[in-house]
Structures are given as C-alpha cells and as structure tokens.
Amino acid sequence: MNPKNTASQNDFLSALTRYETLLAPARFEALKACALQPAPSSVRLNLLKCPEPEQFIQHLAASYGWQLKALPFSKYAWQLLNAQTSPGKTMEHQLGYYYIQDAASILPVSLFDQVQKPRLTLDMAASPGGKTTQLVDLQADQDLVIANDSSPSRLKALRSVMDIWGSVNCALTNFPGEKWGLWFPETFDRVLLDAPCSMESLRDSATHPHRPISEAERLRLAERQLALLISGLAATSIGGELVYSTCSLAPEEDEFVLDDLLKRYPNAFEIEQTRTHEYGTAGLLHFEKKHLDPAVEGSLRVWPDSFGTNGFFAAKLIKKASISFASETAPCRPFESTRLEPITALKKEQLAENIHNDYGFSLEDALEKHHLSVFERDAQFIFLPAAWLQTFLSLPYYALGMPLAKLSADKPEVLPDFILRFGDAFTKGFLTLNDAQMQAWLQGLELRNLHYPAGLEGKIIAIRSASNLNLGAGKANPGRLRNLLPHRHLQRW
C-alpha cells in the first residue's frame, strides 16, 4: 500500500479494529502488516488457447522475467511477485492467452465441481468478466454459460472480455439478477453470484481504495445480496451448485446473509464444509452480538494474510430441495425477429467441405464437441449454442454465439473470430511471420512483399508467430497481406 498521507493510513488501520476481537493478537498484527502492503496481481491462463499450461507459464516467466507463486486454489493461476515486463504489456495478454485478475477472486469458481458433464451455468452479476472466462474454461467451452449483468453500461466491456477470451458457448444478457429465479426455476446446474458489495477487502489498493462504509450502507447491500441469493437458489436445479461470493469481509454482507438464507430455507441446501479444512479458513459463528447457524462455518473467510491476497468471502451451496418461490413469465422476443435461420443440410455440408479443404479443420467435430448449431442471417453464418436454442429461445439477449463465415462471391469465407478461436487447430491455410513482421502485425499494419505458400493467395488465411501464437486472420492479397486482427487485439502501448 502506498497511502496518500499518514492520516489516510491511520484511517485505514482504524477501520481494521472492527475485526480485532475475532483474531488472536499475533494474527491481528499479521493482518495489519499484510493490509499495508500492495497485493500482487495474478495471471490466469486461457485454457482454450493453452493446451499445455505448465509449459506455457514457464515460457512466459522466462520471456518476461516473472517471479511467480502458485495459488493453492487454482492449477492455472499464479501470483506475480516480481516482473521485468508488466503482464499488461505482452503480446500474449493482447491476444487473450491469459487474464490479469485479483488472486482472491479466482477462488469462487474453483469451488465448483470439476466433473465434466453437460452443464447450464448462470453468472448472475458477470461484469467485468474475469470469473465468466473462468467458468468457460471450467466447462472447456463445451456448455452454455450465460453472463448476465443488470447494468447496461457494463455490457460493452463485458462483451470485449468474452470476445478476447474466445468463447463460442456464451450468451450475454441484461436483466436484474433478482428475476432469474422467477423466470427459470430449477434450471441451472451451476450458478455464480459474485454479489455487488462494499468492497471492504481490508487491503487498500488502486482498484479498491479504502473509504468509510456506514452501517446503513452495509445493511442496504445485505438486503439486495439476500434477494439475489434467493433468486440464485431458486434458479439452481436440485443437486446443483451455487457459489456466493463478495470482495467484502463485512460480516453483514457475508455470514449474516447466509444465516438469513438458512433461516428462510433451512432444508433446501447445505453449505459445503470440506474447503474450510483444506484451506484453513472458515466463516464466523458470531460477530458482535449476533450468533449464527453452525453451518455458516463452512464458508470461506479469506483474510488478506490467509494467502497474501485481498480479502474475500465465498461459500458453496448444494441445493437439496425446492424452495417456495413465486414464478413469472420471462421476457419474450420471438426468435423470428432476430432473422436467424438454421442453415440447410446442403449449405452445412458445403461449408464443412470448404473449411476442411482450406484449413484441414473439421467443422463437424467442432459442432459436436461444443454442442453448437449453425444459423445464417444476411449471408453470414453464425455459431449458436444448442442449449440456448433448447431452453432460452425467445429470451432477449445482448450477444450470443460467434461469427463463423460469410458468403463472398457465393463462396463461404471464414471470419476473423472463427480463426482467432480455432486457428490453433488448423493443419494448413496458415502463414508464419518472423519477429519483425509479427511486431508490425500486432500494431494493425499490413505487410508487403511476402511469399505465400502455394494455393493461399487471394484467400483468408490464419497468421501465426514463430513461437506458434495465433495472430488471427489476414487476407492474402497479391503484393500485400491485409490485416484482419480486430481492434480489441491491437497493441496499445
């Protein structure tokens, strides 16, 4: 921590004293010492693009002078203790090979069951999108993840994050989180509620600076958090999982909310207890004059000194029985109004044949593996998640699926999003750039006087670096390679 002045530091330390009676004296001193130091940032690899994560992170560490520390709750994320090159100024970050994320915020998604089987997942308050990308990785982008946020102003940035990550099995929606349980009771196998909170993480930082938080604010937040949690529980299927989390350590927003939920629905769910023993940190059973249900101890109260992160709270709930909760009809937009239509079998066959001939890539295998359908609109072909079509067909959405190809002179021509997502698997139809060419390419420049392999001139081709990074798509025009890398991937430093 770099406090602006001694007064602000003293004000921050004074706020910590609210929790002094909960910890042994030595532990409280350790908390204060930790809280006054900046929390290291963390990098989490994109498993859609990094099939060998251990080798890839070692390559990054060697290339950029990173000193890394493994996180106990994630195999694919590391705290960055020291760096010669900032993690935000690398081409791998630019291309979406990893996400920069607060280490503690990686914990909630890691609590979900790792068993691979078809799942419907709802992220109730998804912005800015880090946990959503983690949910996509958890399901290997093979099952639908709905990323919802109630704030329209956050959707554009959320969409950019998901586009950079490359998920094809995702939908973005803009609804109040309180409505999902009313509209889709017992529908989702996984529900993540990273709830709006006071951000009282007990560690001052640039993103979460200390500020005074009143009792009235905590209580207002807790009221909404409980309403969201009830909605999430209603939307969770019997036997499904719900993870509740906040970046606040105020008990009113954490254990108190779970305690209220247990009082309302005592037999509807259980709080998983195993991680408290594994990580050595548990929820509170009392605070000030309030005594809580013993089950609340199964939650995870991550103090800043627990793992050297920001403070965080998370709990995993397993739904055991239905709850009494009203229902409403979900908003409806006739799917026909999107003008999306399923492509014919003949068009699908021709599209698959063209992609296989040009890139050695099996469209049929991708459709089967990721449970996708192909639709068309205005001479453009689009991947749509089959689960959305089966369950949410008439629900309005902000963004859905991924562009695949368009008709050009009556012949399918793949689009940049498709190559950015699947180009790593191409066995032909790609061009490798040297380091100097790559640097120009990542700035959005066209390249000239290139020698194309036989048969590529005039086509959309995949571009790769000498180290085999996927650099997106280019149009192999005579004499110049047109750069089709989307603006979101261009170098900004």
List, by residue number, the catalytic residues.
247
Q: How far is CA 442 from the centre of its chain?
A: 24
Count CB atoms within 10 A of the CB of residue 333: 12
Distance CA 24, CA 28 (A): 6
Residue 228 CB partners (closer than 8 Å, separation 6+) = 124, 125, 177, 178, 193, 195
Q: What SS3 class is residue 7?
A: helix
Please provide the distance, in angstroms rounded to a whole number, between the alpha carbons at the two ends of the chain. 26
Largest Cα–Cα separation, the chain = 78
Q: What are phi and psi of 18, to 5 degrees?
A: -60, -25
Structure tokens at 382: 């689009």
Q: What are phi and psi of 124, to 5 degrees?
A: -75, -30
Q: CA nearest 464: which of 414, 420, 415, 411?
A: 420
Paired strand residues for 408: 411
Q: Are strands 74-83 and 269-271 parallel, antiparallel or unpaired?
A: unpaired
Count CB atoms within 10 A of the CB of residue 169: 24
* Contact yes or no for 142/370 (Cβ under 8 A): yes
Structure tokens at 50: 């990094």
Distance CA 274, CA 277 (A): 6
Q: CA nearest 366: which of 431, 429, 430, 418?
A: 418
